[in-house]
Amino acid sequence: MPDNLDPSVVAGVANANFKVIAEATTAGIAQAGSLAAQNAASHQQAKNMIQEAFLAEALLPRAGVDPTESVAVKKTTEADLARSVAELAAAVSAIQQMLKGAQTSLPETGQG
């Protein structure tokens, strides 16, 4: 290193370079961890689907359930759930309106 360079400048540049490399490494590790988690979740979902398919195939001869019928029952159940949630939301909305009415002050009348 030439003698005319200030050691504090050299140390500052080295620290800045180290910080940039450390931050890039940290970001890369975080991204790799996120990708690994996504891959693990995707793998687990695929594995669950395969397990469900094998179980359904094994139980179908014993249960005598038509797959079309099962889909219809599932859709009916989901529709009932959606209706129940909508009714609950309407009830909550009505209660909120009543609470708003209870919080307003009465008009002042009869004052001279």
Helix count and strand count (H, E) for the chain: 2, 0
Per-residue pLDDT 10s for the chain (112 aa) are 556 778 888 888 888 888 888 887 888 888 888 888 888 888 888 898 998 888 888 877 776 667 788 788 777 777 777 777 888 888 888 888 877 776 766 667 666 5
Cα atoms in the Cβ-side hemisphere of radius 13 Å centred on 106: 3
- Report whether 1 contacts 10 (CB < 8 A): yes
Q: b/e for 26-60, b at 16 or more Cβ within 10 A? A: eeeeeeeeeeeeeeeeeeeeeeeeeeeeeeeeeee
CB atoms near residue 104 (< 10 Å):
7
